Each structure stands twice: as C-alpha cells, then as structure tokens.
Chains A and B, each alone.
Chain A
Amino acid sequence: MLSDLRYRLRALFRRDAVERELDSELRFHLDKQIALEMASGASRAEAERRARLLLGGIDQVKESDRDVRGISPIEILFRDLRYAVRLLAKSPGFTLVAILSLTLGIGANTAMFQLLNAVVLSSLPVPDPQELVEIQMNDPDLDQARGSFNQYPSLTNPIFERIRERQQAFSSLIAWGNETFNLAPAGEIRRGRGLWVNGGFFNTLGVQPILGRVFTDADDRRGCGMSPGAVISYDFWQQQLAGDPAVIGRTLTVQAQRVDVIGVTPPGFYGLENGRTFDVALPICSIDVTRPNDNALTNGVLWWLKVVGRLKPGWTPAAADAHIRALSAEIQRDTLPHNYPAVSVKSYLASTFITVPASGGISSLRDRYARPIRLLLAMTGLVLLIACANLANLMITRGVVRSRELALRLALGASRARLISQLLSESLLIAAISAVAGLLLARVLSGSLVSLMGTSRNPIILGLTIDWRVFAFTAGTAALTCLLLGLAPALRASRGAPGDVLKAGTRGVTRDHESLTLRRTLLVAQVAISLVLVVGALLFVRTFRNLVNTPLGFQQENVLTIDAGLPPPSPSADVSRELKRAIRERLAAVPGVTGVAEASIIPLSGQGGNNQLWLDGTDPKSSHEAWLNSVSPGFFKTMGIPLLAGRDISDQDRPATTRVAVVNESFARIFIGGKNPIGQRFWIEQTSNTPEVVYEIVGVVRDSKYKDLREAPISHAFFAMNQSFGTPRPGGTFLVRTALPPEQVSPAIGKALLDVNPNLRFTTRLLDGMIRDGMTRERVMATLSALFGALAALLAAVGLHGIISYTVERRRREIGIRLALGASRGIIVRSVLQESGTWVGIGLTIGVLASLALTRTAQTLLYGVQSSDPVAIVTALTGLALVALLASYLPALRAARVDPMTTLKDE
C-alpha cells in the first residue's frame, strides 16, 4: 500500500525524473541488445533495427509503462486542477473577485474561530491541564458571604489553608490573587499587573523558569517580608527590563517595597486567567508588607484568592468534588471569623465548596465574551454564505456559457462523474487558495480583534495560536465553501440530455430556465440572510446607543479621578484625615478646577458595597438592600448630582456628631414610601468591620448610576467620609471637576499633589473614559455587527444586480418585441422591477421570520431593546428594500433602453 502510494506520488510529482529514468533505462537496454546483435555479425544499422524490433518500439513501451504507473485519482485531480487553472486564468476578473471575497470570508471566520478557540476551547499551556480543577464556594452560598471581595468568585486565605490541610484528592493546591502593583519608586504610579501566588504555584503548574528559579513551598511562611523575591514574566522582562541578561538579582520597586528578581517565566505563560497576563509575581506571604492593615493572610472576610488543585492519580473530578463538598462543614467551622456578622454566621457554616473544571483556565473573559464571539462567528458564517451564493451565481452563469461544451463532451462519452469532478475542481482550487490566504489574513484580523476587546488600561493578552482546531476549522470551511460554490452548478451543468442542449442552439433554452430557478432560490436565501444580519446589527447598534445615552444622573465630562496615597507604614488617623483634607484643599486651588471631592466608591468603576438597612422603629427583618458610598462634602456638586431636599454632607459631620446620610430618590421611595425623608433615621446591619448603627437622613439627591450602566434605579445611601469606621487610610480616591479640558489641568494636579506630600503615589484617569471602557463589549458588538450587516447588504445587492441583469439579458428579445409593439419604457421598467420585487419580497418575508427566531439568542446581550424590536425590523426591511430597488433599477433602466430594431435584427 505504502510502496504503491510512494510510487504513484513519485510518478506524479517527479514526472520528468521518472520519464528520464525510463528513457535511460530503455537506452541502456537497446545498447546492450545492439552490442549483442553486432557480436553475432550484424552491421551497426541492422543491429539497431533488430534491437528496436525486439523491444517493440520505444514509444509503445513508454506508453504501456505509463499505464502501469497508472492514472491515479491523484493524477486525475491534478489534471483537473491544471484544467481549472487554465479556465480561471481565462477569466481573471471572476477569479479575482471570487478569491478576494472568499479570502475575506474565510479569513474573518477563521479569525473569529481563533478567538473562540483561545477564549473558550483551548486548554492552558501547562502539562496535563485536564487534571486541574478550581475549588469555589457554591454560588448561592457565595452570594450570602460577607466581607470584601477583591475578585469574584474567590476564597479567603484561612479557607485556602484549611482546605490544603484537610484535602486528600489533590497532589497539590495552588492559590493566587490579582492586584495592580505600583512599580514606580516615587511620584506618578506606574501600573504593573501583579500576581500573588502561593509557593507551589509554578511547580504545580509545571512552569519551568527560563532564568533563575521560581518560588517553592518553603516560601509559604508568615512574616516572609520581601525576602522570597519576585518572579517576573517573559514579556515584562523583555519589554520593561530590555531583556537584561543579568536580571536575576536586580531590584524592583513594587508597592514602594524593594524586591529582588529571582526568576523569569517562559514566554507564552500568562498565568491561569484567560485574557490576562502578569508582570510581577510575589508570594502571598509578602502581602503583609504591602498591605499591613489588611492582615490578608489571617483575615477571614477578605475574599481574594482563587484556588486550583491538581488531581492525584486515580481521582476523578467527580470524586474530588464529592470529597471537597464533604469537607465543607469542617472547614467552615474551623475558619469562621471571630468578627463575622452574627446574622450571617449560620449561612457561613452551612456553605458548601464545589469543584469546577479548570483545564481551560479561569476566565472572566470567557464569561463576558463566549456568547458574543459565538454570535459574531455565526454572523461571519452567514456573510460567507451570502458571498458563496454570489459566487455560485457567477459559476452558474459560466456553466450556462459552457453548457454546449459540456454537452458535447457528454455526447462524446465522458462520464458525468468526470464532468462534475472537473467542474468541482475549479471551485476546489478557488476555495483552497482562499483558505490559505484566509489563514494568513486571520492572523492579522484576530490580533486586531483582541486589541479591540481590550482597553488601554486592561489590554487583553491571548495566546492566539493556529493549532489543529483552527486548521480543521479553516479546512472545513473551505471544503464547505467549495461544495456550496461548485456542487449545484456542477450537477446542473452535467444534467439533461446532451442532444437537447446541442439542438437548442447557442441559447440552451431548456436548461436556462432550470438555472434561473436555482438562481432565484439563491437570491431569496441571500436576501433572507442579509435581513437577519442587518436586523442583528441594528439591535446591537441600538444597544450601544442606548448605553451611551443612558442618563447617568451625573455629569461625566471633565471629571478626573485621582487615586493618591502614601506607601506604608501608615501614619496616625489624625494625620491621615489631615492629609486627605490638605489634598482636597490644594487641588481646589489649582487653576481650572471647579470642584473637588473624595469618595470611597467612584460611580461605574465596577466597585461597590451594599448592606441591609431598615427604618428606625421597624423590624430588622423588614430590611431592604441599599448600595453605599462614603463621600466628602462637595461630592454632589462635583459630580453634578442635584440635591433635591435637605443639605449636603458637611465638614461639621464628625465622628463624634450624629451619623448622617444623604439618600437618593429611590431610597426615599422604597424605604419611606414618599413621605418626607429628612430627619428619618435608619439602621444598618452589622458587618465584620462595622457595628450596627443608626443614621439620620439629612438630604435627598436625584438617582444616579452606581455600579452598572444597565442597572435599574437602586437605593443609594451616602455617608460622611469623616464618620467612616476603622482607621482612615493616608489617601483615597478624589474627583476633580475642571472648567478646562482635564488633560490641560492634569500636570498642575500632579504638581499640586507632590506639593502636599512629595511621597504621595498617585494615578489619574478620566471619568468618562473609564465609563466608555465599561462599554467595550457593546462597542465591539455594535461595530462588528454593523460591519457584517453592511457587508451582507452590499453582497446581496451585488447578487441581486447580477441576477436581474441576467434576466434582462434573457428577456432582451421579448422586451424588444414589446417595445416594438408600442409598450412604453415605463411599463418595461415596471415589469422588471415587479419581477425582482416578487423574489426580494419572498426573501424579506423569510428573513423577518428567521430574525424573529434567531435574534432571541442575543437577548441577554441587548440593552433597552427587545430582540423582536419592531423598529430594527422595519428599518432593516426598508433599508434592504431600498438597496434592492436600486440594485434592480439600473438593469431595468438598461432593459428599457433596448433598441427594438437591433434586437429583432439579431434574431
């Protein structure tokens, strides 16, 4: 079998070499024979004659030898392809259009699939990723969990340590947390992506350093300080440290602490979270140095670690899950924090741990983008279908032109299978070339897609490889394209009795009719598909517009947010309060600044905190949820949130005075039911670091967005920053409203901050820029779907134009006669438009039904618009109808200009 293949392949690809060999082999034979004949006395000429006679003619031998070598299927294919190349070269216009549109189509599809592959399908680039499972708290239990969450879902360090102690199912456990590190030694913050990892992190994952060493279990010890050093990523080493070969032992500044580099991880290792990477990894024990007040290692209400285990041999994920669930009660009993809110202790003790597969990595990117990417892939698929339909149309036209040639060959005995395979080889060639070009294009496209999805502050880092899945996808797409393109026209062209075609003369009337039906079907499908795409595009564009136009309840323009603070060790509470006050005062004095305030939560930054509240004198069980913020005086003015009644927070609200709150309209409606809220008092449930206390409402403000653009109005209570519990930190988040463009003011702001205290670390950001970044997903969906929708409409128009032109051409004679008989040009135009209108109408009807059925899958991605939005459907219908009208009007006009005399003379 193998020798056969090798022989045939050699015969195929080394054709010339094989022929040359045969030549010299036969030459040798003849020479020997001639020598023999001459030895027995024949003359040279006679000997040559006899030798040739005996061999039976070199050409005959060669010919029968070729038969032995065989016309293999490969060679037939090869011949067909050469035939196809000749055909395509004859019509370079068609070839160019076909290859270009398919390259774009296949390229876009491959790029989308690459993204899907990287985000959803592929495994982590570590050994045996299928052995990795993540340990989480059961979702409903996590909803009840109290404390502060650095990421979600996550566990506390005491829980991690307890699980590690008790579990039997895993050979080792890893834990990590994310934090944005400040890598600048002083002044303006230089952001670095930080990773807190336990000692076994790299070893468990099987990540070998390319330089130096990584952490070990020995680095998991309390009070380690910064002594274990830092492990940096390859990209950070290359980009920030210029690939310094002597990097090991170099000192970095991380969170104002000096730390030595001990190792560099290999390229392509980005950590366990899809779309994220890290610059600097520190062992989790070092966090006590950078965040001394948090006690992150012993804190039972600080949720900041993700935990993943590697299964022991013989343990299935299901068994490990059962094991971890069974351990839950014991772990929770052992880790119950002493300061846990009394009302929540029961649910803490009752919560359960579960395992989820982690072979693909942990991915918030996947949660956010899996659906959009699938949808976009479906869209590009549909665009490719429309492009295929267009090309199939062109192929049919070519088939009609060639029908006589094909009929002749059929009549001469060519088998239908041969003709079909020959016709298919043409589309195979186009598809193959486009696939290769598409694959190259996809590399560029997928890269730009990823950068589109990220923001300048949170770029998305994905290992976009072209693996077997991508290859298989592209090959599959190309094969499908080839079939779509070629099969229908090929089957059609080879059908029918050859005699009929030959008799029918140059026009091939019978088959012409048949081809028209096929073309109309294609047209209907194209129109229907493009309607679906345009409707989808409109839905996403409307979603994005709705988001952009959502009333925020505050003025987002010309506001800078500033994070500023002193590195540890922290000064006393009084010094911290004074620092904050000084910062506000100094910032307010900067020319161009019209308002300054401090807030614990920046609206729409993604952060937030809530608690249960109830009115004084009512049952705590009747409590409602409210979202909280602590602000300084001037917050509402700076943000542009109108004060409706009462007063703002003031500097006179101090820890010793009555605790005051400003609430929003929704709060007043939900808690007080429309009565005057000023002077009302409410209680707030105890938390791990705040007691149960009572507040008095002193003001009411208009509703504003808190954590999410899409949220419905929520109850919102603002407390006085000065009355916050716990030790104030030496710094905070400040909001600055400027009269000038903020970019012009920000240098002066930086200088002002350093004037207050030269040790301040700070970073600034535009509020509206931050809010825009929060709409990235919707912007990507709107942009791309609009692109695909427009492309679909354009392609459909081209297709429609093509087929109407063709119909007009076919009816040329009829039109000529009608004109000669006195029909007006208007009637002709109308009749052409009527015909196209019928088919377009059918397509649009099917399209509406299809979009109603299909767009429902996108509902969760929409905002402020229903998937069955009549505006989108009517707009799409009108738009496509207009495009269709235009696309058929031009050929109709041409039809009306037919000169009856020339047409009739032609016949």
Chain B
Amino acid sequence: MADRGLDLPQGTLDLLILKTIAVEAQHGWAIAQKIQLISSDALRVQQGSLYPALHRLERRGWIKARWGASENNRQAKFYELTRKGREQLDAQSETWRRLTVAVGQILDHS
C-alpha cells in the first residue's frame, strides 16, 4: 500500500480527524475522503483504523456523535468537535508544527 500513499505516523490520525471536522460535522466516510483529498492523495487513511479512532476520541469527550441525514438522505453518524476537542486540536496542532519545524531544522542542517 505504500505506493498508494504515506502511512500515518502513530497518533497523527487523531489530529487529522480533529482538524477535518473542525469546520463542520462529518460522517466517517467523508472524513476519510477529505483527509485523502486535502493531502492530495499523499496520505491514505487506513479505513479499518478510522472507526476505532473515532470512538476512542468520542470516549475521551473530544468529539461527539449524533445521527443525522447524509447527502442522499440516509441516516449517518456525524462527528463534531466538542469544546474540549477544540482545545486539543489547538494544542496538538501547535505541538505538531513545532515538532516538524524542529525535525526539519535538524534534517536541513548539513
């Protein structure tokens, strides 16, 4: 599968999920598609690990789920950020940025 996209480092899936639903509530499939789309197909979400991740976040109280109608009027489970989730998103984005900058600096240092 490596040829079809990058595997996600441990723990980054949570961050990506939080970011993806930051603007509006999404259902699981849409979250997977969106991550793939925005990363220009560079990242491929293993769909099998998406749902356990979603439910883990739900359990932590970072996101919450509700049932609603999807585009074609079928019932789907939509996930949205909670206040706690938004705080987590901010904090983790910041950490991620600092991490990538730091790692980048070391790699660029010749």
Bound CA–CA A65/B51 (angstroms):
7
Could you say which residues of chain A place their CB within 8 Å of the CB of B19?
Answer: none
Whether the Cβ atoms of A2 and B61 lie closer than 8 Å is: yes
Q: Which B residues lie within 8 Å of A64 (CB)?
A: 48-49, 52
Establish whether residues A26 and B48, one from each chain, have CB atoms under 8 Å apart when the complex forms. Answer: no
A68 at the binding interface (Cβ < 8 Å): yes
The reply on A60 being an interface residue by CB < 8 A is yes
Q: Which residues of B contact A60 (CB under 8 A)?
A: 48
Q: Does B10 contact A (CB under 8 A)?
A: no
A69 touches B27 (CB 8 A): no
Partner among B47, B52, B60 whose Cβ is within 8 Å of the Cβ of A3: B60
Contact check, B52 vs A55: say whether CB atoms are below 8 A apart: no
Q: A28-B74, A29-B28, A29-B29 are in contact. Are A54 and B47 (CB under 8 A)?
A: yes
State how many angstroms separate the Cβ of A735 from the closest Cβ of chain B.
82
Give Cα A112 to B48, complex, Å: 60
The proximity string for B residues 24-37 relative to A, scoring 1 for CB distances below 8 Å and 0 otherwise, is 00011100000000
The CA of A656 and the CA of B48, in the complex, are separated in Å by: 117
Q: Give chain B residues whose Cβ lies under 8 Å from the Cβ of A140.
A: none
The interface residues of chain B lying within 8 Å CB-to-CB of A68 are 52-53, 55-56, 59
Residue A165 at the chain B interface, CB threshold 8 Å: no
- Contact between A67 and B52 (Cβ–Cβ < 8 Å)? yes
Interface residues of A in 236-251 (CB under 8 A from B): none
The reply to whether B52 and A61 contact each other, CB–CB distance below 8 Å, is: yes
- Residue numbers in A under 8 Å from B61 (CB-CB): 2-4
- Shortest C-beta distance, B72 to chain A (Å), equals 9
Interchain CB contact under 8 A, B75 and A24: yes
B48 touches A4 (CB 8 A): no
Which residue in A22, A24, A28, A56 is a CB contact (below 8 Å) of B29? A28
Which chain B residues lie closer than 8 Å to A32 at the CB level? Answer: 29
Q: Which of B56, B59, B76 has the most CB of A within 10 A?
A: B59
How far does the alpha carbon of A126 sit from the alpha carbon of B52 in the complex, in Å? 55
Q: How far is the CB of B33 from chain A (nearest CB, A)?
A: 8
Q: Is the CB of B48 within 8 A of A25?
A: no
Which residues of the partner chain A approach B58 to less than 8 Å between Cβ atoms?
3, 7
The CA of A60 and the CA of B75, in the complex, are separated in Å by 23
A69-B56 Cα distance, complex, nearest whole Å: 7
Interface of B is mostly: helix
**Looking at the complex, which one of B29, B48, B56 makes contact with A33 (CB distance below 8 Å)?**
B29
Report chain B residues within 8 Å CB of A65.
51-52, 55
Q: Please determine whether A56 and B60 come into contact, CB atoms closer than 8 angstroms.
A: no
Decide: A56 near B47, CB < 8 A? Known: A4-B59, A28-B70, A68-B56: yes
- Tell me how far the C-beta of A742 lies from the nearest C-beta in chain B, rounded to whole angstroms: 79
The smallest beta-carbon distance between A108 and chain B, in angstroms, is: 45
Contact A22-B51, Cβ < 8 Å, known A4-B59, A32-B29? yes
Partner of B59, one of A7, A31, A57: A7
Q: Least Cβ distance of A59 to chain B in Å?
A: 11
Q: Decide if A55 touches B48 in the complex (CB within 8 Å).
A: yes
Nearest CB to that of A65 among chain B residues?
Answer: B52
- Docked CA distance A70–B60 (Å): 12
A61 to B49, CA, bound (A): 7
Task: Indicate if A21 sits at the interface (CB-CB under 8 A).
Answer: yes
B46 contacts the other chain (Cβ, under 8 Å)?
yes
B46 partner residues in chain A, CB cutoff 8 A: 56
Tell me how many residues of A have a C-beta within 8 Å of chain B.
27
Is A8 part of the contact surface with B, judged by Cβ < 8 Å? yes
| CB–CB B28/A25 < 8 A | yes
**In chain A between 36 and 67, which residues have their CB closer than 8 angstroms to a CB of chain B?**
54-57, 60-61, 64-65, 67
Shortest C-beta distance, B83 to chain A (Å), equals: 12
Task: Determine which of B51, B56, B70 lies in contact with A26 in the assembled complex, contact meaning CB atoms within 8 Å.
Answer: B51
Question: A56 to chain B: which residues have CB within 8 Å?
Answer: 46-49
Query: Inside 8 A of A3's CB, which chain B residues have their CB?
Result: 58-61
Report whether B49 and A4 are in contact in the complex, using a CB–CB cutoff of 8 Å: no
Q: B67-79 vs A: 1/0 string, CB under 8 Å? A: 0001000111100
Measured CB to CB, the nearest residue on chain A to B67 is A21
Q: Which residues of B contact A29 (CB under 8 A)?
A: 27-29, 47, 51
What B residues does A57 contact at CB under 8 A?
48
Indicate the member of A4, A22, A55 with the most B CB atoms within 10 Å. A55
Chain A 360-379, CB within 8 Å of chain B: the 1/0 string? Answer: 00000000000000000000
B1-47 with Cβ < 8 A to chain A: 27-29, 46-47
Chain A 1-21 interface residues, beta-carbon cutoff 8 Å to B: 2-4, 7-8, 21
Q: CA A54 – CA B51 in complex, angstroms?
A: 13
Check A55/B75 contact, CB under 8 A, given A4-B60, A25-B28: no
A21–B49 contact, CB under 8 A? no
Assess the B77–A25 pair: CB atoms within 8 A.
yes
Chain A residues near B27 (CB-CB < 8 A): 28-29
Per the bound structure, the CA–CA distance linking A31 and B71 in Å amounts to 13
In the complex, how many angstroms separate the beta carbon of B78 from the nearest chain A beta carbon? 10
Q: Kindly report which residue of chain B lies nearest to residue A60, judged by CB atoms.
A: B48
The one of A2, A61, A70 in contact with B51, judged by C-beta atoms closer than 8 angstroms, is A61
Determine how close the nearest CB of chain B comes to the CB of A642; give it in whole angstroms: 91
A515 to B49, CA, bound (A): 51
Q: Smallest CB-CB separation from A58: which chain B residue?
A: B48
Instruction: Tell me, in angstroms, the Cα distance from A32 to B59 when the chains sit together.
Output: 25
Q: How far is the CA of A28 from the CA of B27 in the complex (A)?
A: 9
Cα distance A70–B59 in the bound complex, in angstroms: 10
Contacts of A55 in B (CB 8 A): 47-48
CB distance from B77 to the nearest CB of A (A): 5
Chain B residues with Cβ below 8 Å from A2 are 61
Residue pair A8, B48 in contact (C-beta under 8 Å): no
Interchain CB contact under 8 A, A69 and B55:
yes
- Residues 371-398 (chain A) with a chain B CB within 8 angstroms: none
Least CB separation from A51: chain B residue:
B47
Residues of B contacting A4 with CB < 8 Å? 59-61
Q: Which residues of B contact A28 (CB under 8 A)?
A: 27-29, 70, 74-77
Counting chain B CB atoms within 10 Å of each CB, which of A2, A25, A61, A65 scores highest? A25
**Nearest CB in chain B to that of A26: its residue:** B51
Q: List B contacts of A61 (CB < 8 A).
A: 48, 51-52
Residue in B51, B56, B60 whose beta carbon sits within 8 Å of that of A25 in the complex:
B51
CB distance from B75 to the nearest CB of A (A): 7
- The 8 Å CB contact of A69, one of B48, B49, B59, B75, is B59
A8 touches B59 (CB 8 A): yes
| Chain A 289-332 interface 0/1 with B at a Cβ cutoff of 8 Å (1 = within) | 00000000000000000000000000000000000000000000
Which A residue's beta carbon lies closest to that of B56? A68
Closest residue of chain B to A63, judged by CB?
B52
Shortest CB distance A51–B (Å): 9
How many Å from the CB of A7 to the closest CB on chain B? 4
Bound-complex Cα distance A360 to B19 (A): 62
A residues near B52, Cβ cutoff 8 Å: 61, 64-65, 67-68
B25 to A: closest C-beta gap in Å: 14
For the complex, what is the distance from the CA of A67 to the CA of B75, rounded to whole Å?
A: 25
Q: How far is the CA of A61 from the CA of B74 in the complex (A)?
A: 22
- In the complex, A718→B29 CA distance in Å? 105
For the complex, give the distance between the alpha carbons of A471 and B28 in Å. Answer: 47
Residues 729-766 of A contacting B (Cβ, < 8 Å): none
CB <8 Å contact, B48 and A21: no
Across-interface contacts of A7 in B (CB, < 8 A): 58-59
By a CB distance below 8 angstroms, the chain B residues around A21 are 77
Residues in A whose Cβ lies below 8 Å from that of B51: 22, 25-26, 29, 61, 65
Looking at the assembled complex, report how far the CB atom of A13 sits from the nearest CB atom of chain B, in whole angstroms: 15
Question: Given A7-B58, A61-B48, A65-B52, 16 more contacts at CB 8 Å?
Answer: A3-B59, A4-B59, A4-B60, A8-B59, A25-B76, A28-B29, A28-B75, A28-B77, A29-B28, A29-B51, A56-B46, A56-B48, A60-B48, A61-B52, A64-B52, A68-B53
Cβ-closest 10 pairs across A and B = A56-B48, A3-B61, A32-B29, A7-B59, A68-B52, A29-B29, A55-B47, A64-B52, A68-B56, A65-B52
User: Can you spell out 15 A-B residue pairs with CB atoms less than 8 angstroms apart?
Assistant: A3-B60, A8-B59, A24-B77, A25-B51, A25-B77, A28-B28, A28-B70, A28-B75, A29-B29, A55-B48, A56-B46, A61-B52, A64-B49, A68-B52, A69-B59
